[in-house]
């Protein structure tokens, strides 16, 4: 049966169902017909020979005599019973066809479920088995070829990004060093020149940070994710590292909770650092930033809350796209390039997790991250 194509299987099912329905109709209608025919004799009220009622005696009935037999609704009952039988057989056939065809199309549902599991970080591991029906074999082959093309395309993109960032890093470092050296050797320059030097330093630093982030993003797939991570000391370390920035903006940092997971220690640190740094940068002066970690049996939840002006609903998904900035003027003011949250999304996705805006209003924003606890193999 497995060698038969889907078309032949549906054809055979249809033939079998129609044949079974016809046989059932024949048997049931024949039985009902015989039953009602036998009941005709019991349903006779009276009969007339000519114009006068009389007792019916077949031996006395001559050829050519007109005999009228009145039956108590036998014909109507017979028709009604046939309609009920037809409706019952049709309903039963429909139910059988639904379940049988559902069983026959089960590989299609498995195919759809497998396709829904495809993520950017598991393209190479989600290939479908080709040991299926002929029609699904072609589907599986085409799907696997598509995954391979996507994987190759993303790999080429990551390689190009990494190469470009690597090539840009050296000249940018040289430019930054030359600008700093010139500023140190010429401390008493005209105000216009000093302003220009400051702008050059700021922009070269911004470009340096951007190339560093792009280089990190291009190398994410090669980073091992087998470290045993304790989030409580990591949160404390991040609060310590960001304390100068928080003090500069008069922001109160609070860390709480604890959780443990398996992953990349460096990448999870970068994820928490970017979320907390963003919450500080785009907070109101004198505000508060809270970073909290909790854990269930299978999942770790990280929440970073601020008391900023919030994120508009139409931007809450776009903020994780590369180079997207809600407020470009504030991003330039703080040296942002629109890659911080994109890197957070990449890291969460690489750990089979997700990140989203859990809550946002004019009173502040809460960013949530869900990560699997993981098990060390």
Instruction: Indicate the range of 50-59, 133-142, 209-218, 341-350 predicted with least confidence.
Output: 50-59
Instruction: Enumerate residues 6+ apart whose C-beta is below 8 A from 1.
Output: 9
pLDDT in tens, 296-324: 989 999 999 999 888 888 888 888 887 77
Residue 67 pLDDT greater than 60, yes or no: no
pLDDT for residue 331: 52
In which band, very low, low, confident or very high, does the pLDDT at 362 lie, cut at 50, 70 and 90? confident
pLDDT for residue 15: 65
What residue has token string 């049709």?
Answer: 90
pLDDT for residue 37: 59
Cα-Cα-Cα-Cα torsion 77, 83, 85, 86, nearest 10 degrees, comes to 160
Among 91, 136, 118, which Cα is nearest to 127's?
A: 118
CA distances from 363 to 84, 359, 368 (A): 66, 10, 17
Among 226, 273, 260, which Cα is nearest to 377's?
A: 226
Q: Provide the sign of the torsion angle of the four alpha carbons 69, 70, 72, 75, taken in this order.
A: positive
In which band, very low, low, confident or very high, does the pLDDT at 377 lie, cut at 50, 70 and 90? very low
pLDDT for residue 371: 93
Instruction: Indicate the range of 30-39, 154-163, 261-270 predicted with least confidence.
Output: 30-39
In which band, very low, low, confident or very high, does the pLDDT at 369 lie, cut at 50, 70 and 90? very high
Q: Once rounded to an integer, what is the mean pLDDT over residues 275-304?
A: 91
In which band, very low, low, confident or very high, does the pLDDT at 280 lie, cut at 50, 70 and 90? very high
Q: Using CA atoms, how far apart are residues 287 and 309, in angstroms rounded to an integer?
A: 11
């Amino acid at each position: 049966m497995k060698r038969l194509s889907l078309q032949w299987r549906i054809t055979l099912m249809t033939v079998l169902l129609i044949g079974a329905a016809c046989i059932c109709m024949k048997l049931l209608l024949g039985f009902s017909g015989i039953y009602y025919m036998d009941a005709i004799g019991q349903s006779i009220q009276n009969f007339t020979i000519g114009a006068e009622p009389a007792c019916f005696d077949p031996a006395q009935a001559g050829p050519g005599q007109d005999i009228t037999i009145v039956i108590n609704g036998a014909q109507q009952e017979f028709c009604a019973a046939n309609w009920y039988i037809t409706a019952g057989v049709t309903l039963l056939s429909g139910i059988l066809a639904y379940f049988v065809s559902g069983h026959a199309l089960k590989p299609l549902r498995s195919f759809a479920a497998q396709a829904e599991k495809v993520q950017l970080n598991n393209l190479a591991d989600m290939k479908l088995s080709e040991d299926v029906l002929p029609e699904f074999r072609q589907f599986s082959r085409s799907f696997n070829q598509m995954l391979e093309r996507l994987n190759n395309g993303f790999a080429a993109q990551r390689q190009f990004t990494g190469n470009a960032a690597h090539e840009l890093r050296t000249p940018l470092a040289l430019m930054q060093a030359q600008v700093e050296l010139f500023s140190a050797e010429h401390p008493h320059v005209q105000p216009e020149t000093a302003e220009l030097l400051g702008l050059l330093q700021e922009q070269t630093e911004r470009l340096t940070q951007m190339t560093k982030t792009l280089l990190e993003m291009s190398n994410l797939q090669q980073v091992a994710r087998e470290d045993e991570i304790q989030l409580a000391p990591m949160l404390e370390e991040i609060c310590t590292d960001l304390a100068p920035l928080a003090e500069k903006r008069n922001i109160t940092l609070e860390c709480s909770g604890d959780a443990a997971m398996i992953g990349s220690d460096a990448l999870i640190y970068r994820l928490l650092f970017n979320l907390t740094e963003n919450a500080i940068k785009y907070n109101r002066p004198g505000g508060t930033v809270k970073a909290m970690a909790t854990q269930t049996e299978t999942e770790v939840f990280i929440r970073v809350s601020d008391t900023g002006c919030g994120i508009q609903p139409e931007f809450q998904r776009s903020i994780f796209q590369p180079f997207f900035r809600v407020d470009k003027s504030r991003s330039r003011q703080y040296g942002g390039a629109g890659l911080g949250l994109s890197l957070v999304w990449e890291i969460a996705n690489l750990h089979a997790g997700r990140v989203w805006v859990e809550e946002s209003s004019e009173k502040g924003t809460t960013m949530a991250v869900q990560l699997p606890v993981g098990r060390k193999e």
